[in-house]
Structure 1
Amino acid sequence: MDLKQLLGQSRGRRSMLQALGVAAVGISFGGLAACGKGEGKKLANGEEGRLNFYNWDTYIGETTLDDFKAATGVEVTMDLFDSNDTLFAKFKAGNPGYDVIVPSNDFVERMIRADMLQPLDHAQIPNIKNIDPAFINVDYDPGRKFSMPYTWLVLGIGYRKSKVKTRPDSWKVLFDSDEYKDRIAWLSEAGDMYRLYGKYLGKSVNALTPADIETISAMMIKQKPYVKKFHEDDGQDLLMKGDCDIVLEYNGDIAQVMTEDDDLDFLVPKEGSQFNSDTLAIPKGAPHPKNAHAFINYILDAEVDKKITETILFPTPNAAAKALMPDSFRNNPVIYPPADVLARCEYAKFNEKLQPLYEEAFTKVRAA
């Protein structure tokens, strides 16, 4: 199967909820409160044959949950969420009954600080051996004590080739230029916007100060008249519909629409960018911690992760699974940017002091 066929099977991780026109706060496949078929049946590990999974939409293989049940006897109930904020809020008052969750990297750090995550027992996750070593010792969870990598993403510029004079290799076209007036779309997430502006100014995404936020806010307000829309992670759709010509978006999202429209492309600007990674974690108070470890280990199996990747179409940190993918996927520079490009990118650390400043300042920018 080639890349175009793979990409034709799926869209972004939020696509199903957008199609339904609802938020994922209460969407459930089976319902957390519903009685699973495995309830009451004790497994060899002493737990009942159930597992409660809290996941992004369209972010699992088509048969993964059924295959796991066939292999282990564990019935999986999957509920959906549509943002890390929703996920975090769900656990502020304690674990409502979930065994495995999928927080993004900065929220892993935030949940660790809030004592929301259970330490992982690596002895129960032997398939950690399949993970690329580059994804093990990460700043937000050194040694993977609390999370296992599931996917990774990088922010960059998606654009329509026929509408740009030259290949837009700098954040300048989005952040500091009137060249594409009223044809630009920014992300609506405050932290990402300020951190990427910081990259444009030559700073680390993790080295901004309150003074930098003021400087960047003034730059944003100056640039805002040229921005057509602040989008909710659907920049690829704005390109497809012709509403915008240049957008800030994730590599996987643009890679999907590139197979539908040859006039679209993606790049990581020369100044560098920000990584994101979605992870598998066990929240404190998980009712089935042994099943949770078994489920995470199952997903890290090379063949299992290959099937998941073929469905969700985001880069996998699973080196063994990646090795099984077709060359058209593994060698695609949009899905897997070259090493020299990735060397200029960083994971954003959760900053408890700066996050409210980002949000407050961005609210003022949008109201200006």
Structure 2
Amino acid sequence: MKKLITGISAILVLVVLLFGTQRYLASQTGTGESSDKVLNLYNWGDYLDPDLITKFTKETGYKVSYETFDSNEAMYTKIKQGGTSYDLTVPSDYMIKKMKRENLLLPLDHSKLTGINNYDTRFMNQTFDKNNKYSLPYFWGTLGIIYNDKYVKPQDVQHWDDLWAPKFKNQIMLVDSARDALAMALITQNKSVNDKSTADLAAAQAKLTTLMPNIKAIIADEIKMYMAQNEAAIAVTYSGEASQAMGNNSHLHYVVPSEGSNLWFDNIVMPKTAKHKAAAYAFLNFMSEPKNAAQNATYVGYATPNKRAMPFLSEAVRHDKQFYPDKKTLDNLQVYDDLGQRWTEKYNDAFLEFKMSQR
């Protein structure tokens, strides 16, 4: 789930950290509970079927204390600060690399993982975690374009540059993410989404600013709701958000531009401060079971990396190339690298300046 905070949204992170916003789905046991029969899970909001938590508890006896975050940065900050011992969390690709470098993760004992062979090898051994020493795949997806065929012809929105057409004035909703918005602009200029050139970033910002007349709103999770309600003709967002919106509106369609986009991964990791390792391995194995992986993918709407789960998905889903792209498309996608603090700030500043130009 690619949600990178900007300077403004950092305030929201501080609020969350100060007031400890939590949501428990399956237990009244607080995080840090000393009992061995608890799992402290820190995950994105609405990123796990609640029925699977109930099933996991019934099968294993482990109660689940479930707390949520809304950005990789919020999750990272809370784990780095310590004080709360989470057994598992679900960072994105670039954040796994960062947490690994800062010694915040425990290596996984592969001898305790019973379902590791269920995963598609295409999603294993990624550059951010070679040999899956610290992580197991959870979901993966793409950045793309949703359009409503009531207002837009399919041939008019197949590429990123199409979004700059004057006819789309005030008709586009853009995901509130520095990396994603600038990646879109960088790709139109044949640059890497991990570009570290001051000139290239300035050019991408300038290109993005010229899109502002077409921007109706810059928002996050609400995109899927607004698109389902016909509030906009076009949106730039993630494949899972698109899937959920499309499930509520038959006029919506999702496109991954052929010139390239972002391919992202969310993986499960074990923080260094984990106290309930047996429970953590039980959950990793539970979620690796094909039927459970398929059930979670159906609920959440994102693509599962579990190849043996595919037969348990509906035929329409598993053959949908926008959500399960073929190799040719995958080869043209780019994974975000950890840019480091200096360049992350540069991207965030460029995006903030773009947002300030909004009408």
TM range (shorter): 0.7 to 0.9
Aligned to 1:26: 21
Q: 1:272 aligns with which of 260, 276, 279?
A: 260
Aligned 8 A contact 2:228 2:246 in 1: no
Aligned ranges 1:84-233 → 2 under 5 Å: 84-94=72-82, 96-165=84-153, 166-174=155-163, 176-233=164-221
222-231 or 236-245: which moved more?
A: 236-245
Instruction: Report SS of the residue matched to 1:278.
Output: strand
Instruction: Report SS of the residue matched to 1:163.
Output: coil
Equivalent-residue separation in structure 1 for 2:184 and 2:196 (angstroms): 10
Aligned to 2:344: 355
Decide whether aligned partners of structure 1 residues 299 and 80 sit closer, same or farther in structure 2, where only a CA change above 3 A counts: same
Decide whether aligned partners of structure 1 residues 304 and 346 sit closer, same or farther in structure 2, where only a CA change above 3 A counts: same
Aligned 8 A contact 1:32 1:78 in 2: no
Which amino acid is 1:322 matched to? M
Residue 81 of structure 1, CA deviation:
1.5
Equivalent-residue separation in structure 2 for 1:28 and 1:254 (angstroms): 25
1:336 to 2:354 alignment: no
Which amino acid is 2:299 matched to? T
Which amino acid is 2:69 matched to? F
For residues 103-130 of structure 1, what are the alpha-carbon distances to aligned partners after superposition, in whole Å with 9 as ceiling and x for unaligned? 1112111211222111111111121100
229-238 or 99-108: which moved more?
A: 229-238
Residue 335 of structure 1, CA deviation:
2.2
- Identity percentage over the alignment? 28
Which amino acid is 1:349 matched to? D
Residue 95 of structure 1, CA deviation:
5.4
Aligned 8 A contact 1:178 1:223 in 2: no
Aligned 8 A contact 1:194 1:216 in 2: yes
Aligned 8 A contact 1:23 1:82 in 2: no
Equivalent-residue separation in structure 1 for 2:32 and 2:329 (angstroms): 48
Equivalent-residue separation in structure 1 for 2:281 and 2:57 (angstroms): 14
Aligned to 1:52: 40
Residue 222 of structure 1, CA deviation:
2.2
Aligned 8 A contact 1:126 1:297 in 2: yes
Q: 2:293 aligns with which of 305, 315, 318?
A: 305
Aligned 8 A contact 2:142 2:264 in 1: yes
51-60 or 152-161: which moved more?
A: 51-60
Instruction: Report SS of the residue matched to 1:308.
Output: helix
Equivalent-residue separation in structure 2 for 1:34 and 1:298 (angstroms): 21
For residues 45-66 of structure 1, what are the alpha-carbon distances to aligned partners after superposition, in whole Å with 9 as ceiling and x for unaligned? xxx2221111122222232223
Instruction: Report SS of the residue matched to 1:64.
Output: helix
1:83 to 2:54 alignment: no
Aligned 8 A contact 2:31 2:85 in 1: no
323-332 or 349-358: which moved more?
A: 323-332
Decide whether aligned partners of structure 1 residues 123 and 251 sit closer, same or farther in structure 2, where only a CA change above 3 A counts: same
Equivalent-residue separation in structure 2 for 1:135 and 1:91 (angstroms): 25
Decide whether aligned partners of structure 1 residues 110 and 129 sit closer, same or farther in structure 2, where only a CA change above 3 A counts: same
Equivalent-residue separation in structure 2 for 1:255 and 1:178 (angstroms): 27
Runs of 5+ in structure 2 lacking a partner? 4-14
Residue 171 of structure 1, CA deviation:
0.2
Equivalent-residue separation in structure 2 for 1:203 and 1:100 (angstroms): 35
Aligned 8 A contact 1:32 1:52 in 2: no
For residues 209-255 of structure 1, what are the alpha-carbon distances to aligned partners after superposition, in whole Å with 9 as ceiling and x for unaligned? 22111111111222212211111143232322333211101122222
Equivalent-residue separation in structure 2 for 1:229 and 1:32 (angstroms): 39
Decide whether aligned partners of structure 1 residues 34 and 85 sit closer, same or farther in structure 2, where only a CA change above 3 A counts: closer
Residue 147 of structure 1, CA deviation:
1.0
For residues 179-219 of structure 1, what are the alpha-carbon distances to aligned partners after superposition, in whole Å with 9 as ceiling and x for unaligned? 30110122211112112211121122223422111111111
Runs of 5+ in structure 1 lacking a partner? 1-11, 15-21, 41-47
Which amino acid is 2:276 matched to? H
Aligned to 2:57: 69
Aligned to 2:355: 366
Aligned 8 A contact 2:90 2:268 in 1: yes
23-32 or 141-150: which moved more?
A: 23-32
Number of positions where the alignment pairs a residue of Structure 1 with one of Structure 2: 340
Equivalent-residue separation in structure 2 for 1:329 and 1:126 (angstroms): 26
Decide whether aligned partners of structure 1 residues 112 and 68 sit closer, same or farther in structure 2, where only a CA change above 3 A counts: same
TM-score (norm 1): 0.86
Equivalent-residue separation in structure 2 for 1:309 and 1:263 (angstroms): 22
Residue 23 of structure 1, CA deviation:
6.7
